[in-house]
């Protein structure tokens, strides 16, 4: 029987969930609240705030929804799943008690300390003066200051010196930049190493991780600027090896589920593990009680299993008997953000060139709408900081056969470990989208001052600007773009483009040797 489904939320994450749900043969009518202009192409949208629990539950009861997916953190923290259960409507997501794992960083850090789950050294405070006393006494920079509660992914400050720390404490605890979320703060040591995002399905008994991903949070080029909700992401994460995955399952994933059960708040839904692969092993940076954004936009396109069946299994406690399978392909998402994000930005900029919200004639590219609206005259316009998420996918690359031996054949260079090389950071384009309208033309535009850029030119410039700052990391960087390396043990690699439309100006055989002198420049279209 087809199920009538309601998805709670209104961003790119919700759009990705809706598109994945619609692939299920059991999925019938789909609604989204509040949704946005672009989501309206795929679901019926109703303007109910995600945080208005009473109105949302009443609407769900009146419309007789068979299943509700609560995708946003705020309604989960407010107990929407509890309220839906009280009226007999099953929902995907944790109850209020379990949602504390994200809603309170103090709770999650204390949980990790109590049950021996590896994380950064930390202390919690409710007095601004004591925060600064502690930071001065430690004398270690950078230092991380986190607002205790929810802050739209922006309540984490990395302070390089005492002056920045003092300003951060003032913003969070005195100026109440994040409201009551700043009544308490967590001060953490700064961890180093590659970051990994691992979303996982769980029914409170078993954990089935999704494909790993790497999120890029900083607003500006070269991993600088303020933290954002996420400016881009790739999947799979090149640093998340099978050995590391096994270690995380043993030391982090299963212990977390057991800890939540021991505390009397079993977790059902999507549990997000934000990890740092430090020299001392994987450590938890943060937990989220829901799908990440924009991680969802690269993870769900690679899901081969029926998302609705998997979600239902999490709710009903039958996940152990349910298949969760992902493709061996790759995906990358580039966020198009309004100029000034994440601080001040304008809304209402026209977006043209899309057909039913998508790029025509691009089957391997999906446009996920994060902050869009439809005007009264039917015009699609910007309506948020993060406007669109452009996701491209690629199938796995077939192994390249070895070249035939010849008289001039050279012995292969000894293998190198590419996993230890530093990852170049991706370039973002937040400051190029807000001053004029956004076009999604199907042909690239020429770059000229004052000319309206196209979506394709944005993405092309985003990738082409990602030049090698360290030529020894060519192979790693290729993987970070979603490319495939058939034999990571060899120094020379034949790179697979992200999808068929991506081209490289460099030769197909690129060396990761510092002596090669290659500077790989990638473009789209």
Q: How far is CA 393 from CA 15, 39, 497, in A?
A: 17, 20, 10
Which DSSP string do the residues of 71-92 spell out, in sequence order? Answer: -SHHHHHTTHHHHHHHTT--EE
Distance CA 255, CA 261 (A): 10
pLDDT > 90 fraction of the chain, expressed in percent and rounded? 58
Same domain flag for 90 and 17: yes
467: tokens are: 């030049």
- Calculate mean pLDDT across residues 4-10: 98
- Calculate mean pLDDT across residues 442-454: 37
Q: What is the pLDDT of residue 156?
A: 82
Would you say residue 31 lies in a domain?
yes
Span 474-510, pLDDT tens digits: 223 232 333 332 333 322 222 233 323 332 222 222 2
Distance CA 520, CA 504 (A): 7
Last residue of a domain, one of 81, 96, 111: 96
Q: Which of 62-76, 345-359, 441-455 has the lowest mean pLDDT?
A: 441-455
- Calculate mean pLDDT across residues 39-56: 98
Same domain flag for 11 and 68: yes
Span 139-181, pLDDT tens digits: 889 988 988 777 665 678 889 998 888 988 888 888 888 888 7
Would you say residue 508 lies in a domain?
no
DSSP-derived letter for residue 353 is S
Q: Which residue intervals of 22-127 are DSSP H helices?
A: 53-63, 73-77, 80-86, 96-103, 105-115
Greatest extent of the chain over all pairs of C-alpha atoms, in Å:
78
Would you say residue 385 lies in a domain?
no
Q: What is the pLDDT of residue 115?
A: 97
Average confidence score pLDDT of the chain: 79
Distance CA 266, CA 154 (A): 27
Indicate if the pLDDT at residue 421 is higher than 80. no
Would you say residue 290 lies in a domain?
no
Task: Provide the CATH number for the domain around residue 130.
Answer: 3.30.1490.20
Query: What is the number of other CB atoms lying within 10 angstroms of the CB of residue 32?
Result: 26
Residue 42's nearest CA partner among 16, 71, 72, 3 is 16
Q: Comparing 83 with 512, which gets the higher pLDDT?
A: 83
Q: What is the pLDDT of residue 406?
A: 41
The answer to whether residues 253 and 207 touch, using CB atoms and an 8 Å cutoff, is yes
Would you say residue 498 lies in a domain?
no
- Calculate mean pLDDT across residues 9-37: 98
Indicate if the pLDDT at residue 114 is higher than 80. yes
Same domain flag for 16 and 91: yes
Same domain flag for 9 and 89: yes
- Calculate mean pLDDT across residues 313-340: 96
Indicate if the pLDDT at residue 443 is higher than 70. no
pTM equals: 0.76
Question: For residue 31, what are the domain limits?
Answer: 3-96
Span 282-300, pLDDT tens digits: 999 999 999 999 999 999 9
Same domain flag for 12 and 78: yes
Counts of helices then strands in the chain (DSSP H, E): 14, 26
Would you say residue 274 lies in a domain?
no
The answer to whether residues 350 and 409 touch, using CB atoms and an 8 Å cutoff, is no
Band of residue 277 on the pLDDT scale cut at 50, 70, 90: very high
Q: Comparing 494 with 212, which gets the higher pLDDT?
A: 212
- How many alpha carbons fall within 13 Å on the CB side of residue 280? 8
Task: Provide the CATH number for the domain around residue 84.
Answer: 3.40.50.20
- Calculate mean pLDDT across residues 350-354: 93
Would you say residue 60 lies in a domain?
yes
Residues 6+ apart with CB under 8 A from 355: none
Last residue of a domain, one of 174, 190, 206: 190
Last residue of a domain, one of 63, 96, 129: 96
Residue where the block lists tokens 């902050």: 371
Burial 394-433 (b: 16+ CB within 10 A, else e): beebeeeeeeeeeeeeeeeeeebebbebebbbbbbbbbbb
Show the beta-strand stretches assigned E in 221-263: 224-235
Domains: count for the chain:
2
Residue 39's nearest CA partner among 364, 339, 376, 388 is 388
DSSP-derived letter for residue 250 is I
Band of residue 404 on the pLDDT scale cut at 50, 70, 90: low
Would you say residue 45 lies in a domain?
yes
Indicate if the pLDDT at residue 87 is higher than 90. yes
193: left (phi over 0), alpha (psi -120 to 50) or beta: left
């Amino acid at each position: 029987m087809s199920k009538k489904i309601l998805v709670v939320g209104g961003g790119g994450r919700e759009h990705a969930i809706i598109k994945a749900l619609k692939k299920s043969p059991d999925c019938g009518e789909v609604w989204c609240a509040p949704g946005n202009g672009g989501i309206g192409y795929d679901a019926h949208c109703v303007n109910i705030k995600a945080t208005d629990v009473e109105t949302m539950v009443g609407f769900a009861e009146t419309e007789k929804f068979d299943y509700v997916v609560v995708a946003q953190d705020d309604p989960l923290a407010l107990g929407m799943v509890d309220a839906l259960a009280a009226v007999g409507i099953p929902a995907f997501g944790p109850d209020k008690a379990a949602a504390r794992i994200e809603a309170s960083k103090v709770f999650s850090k204390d949980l990790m300390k109590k049950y021996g789950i590896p994380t950064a050294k930390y202390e919690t405070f409710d007095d601004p003066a004591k925060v600064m006393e502690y930071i001065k006494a430690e004398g270690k920079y950078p230092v991380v200051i986190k607002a205790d509660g929810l802050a739209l992914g922006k309540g984490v400050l990395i302070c390089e010196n005492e002056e920045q720390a003092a300003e951060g404490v003032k913003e969070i605890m005195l100026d109440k930049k994040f409201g009551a979320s700043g009544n308490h703060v967590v001060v953490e040591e700064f961890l180093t190493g590659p970051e990994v995002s691992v979303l996982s399905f769980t029914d409170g008994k078993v954990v089935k991780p999704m494909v790993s991903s790497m999120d890029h949070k900083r607003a500006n080029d070269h991993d600088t600027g303020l933290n954002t909700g996420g400016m881009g992401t790739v999947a799979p994460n090149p640093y998340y090896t099978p050995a590391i995955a096994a270690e995380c399952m043993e030391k982090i994933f299963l212990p977390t589920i057991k800890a939540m059960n021991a505390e009397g708040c079993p977790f059902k839904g999507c549990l997000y593990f934000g990890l740092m692969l430090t020299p001392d092993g994987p450590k938890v940076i943060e937990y989220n009680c829901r799908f990440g954004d924009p991680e969802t936009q690269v993870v769900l396109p690679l899901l081969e299993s029926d998302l609705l069946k998997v979600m239902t299994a999490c709710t009903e406690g039958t996940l152990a008997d349910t298949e969760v399978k992902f493709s061996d392909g790759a995906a990358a998402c580039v966020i198009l953000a309004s100029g000034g994000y994440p601080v001040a930005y304008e809304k209402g900029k026209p977006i043209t060139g899309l057909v039913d919200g998508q790029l025509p004639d691009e089957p391997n590219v999906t446009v996920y709408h994060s902050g869009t609206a439809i005007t009264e005259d039917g015009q699609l316009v910007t309506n948020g900081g993060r406007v669109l998420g452009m996701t491209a996918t690629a199938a796995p690359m077939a192994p390249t056969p070895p070249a035939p031996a010849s008289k001039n054949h050279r012995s292969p260079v000894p293998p190198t470990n590419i996993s230890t090389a530093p990852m170049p950071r991706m370039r973002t384009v937040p400051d190029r989208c807000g001053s004029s309208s956004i076009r999604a033309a199907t042909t690239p535009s020429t770059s000229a001052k004052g000319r309206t850029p196209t979506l394709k030119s944005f993405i092309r410039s985003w990738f082409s600007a990602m030049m090698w700052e360290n030529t020894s990391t060519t192979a790693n960087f290729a993987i970070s773009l979603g490319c495939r390396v058939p034999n990571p043990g060899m120094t020379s690699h034949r790179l697979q483009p992200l999808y068929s439309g991506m081209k490289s100006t460099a030769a197909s055989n690129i060396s990761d040797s510092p002596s090669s002198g290659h500077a790989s420049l990638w473009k789209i279209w």
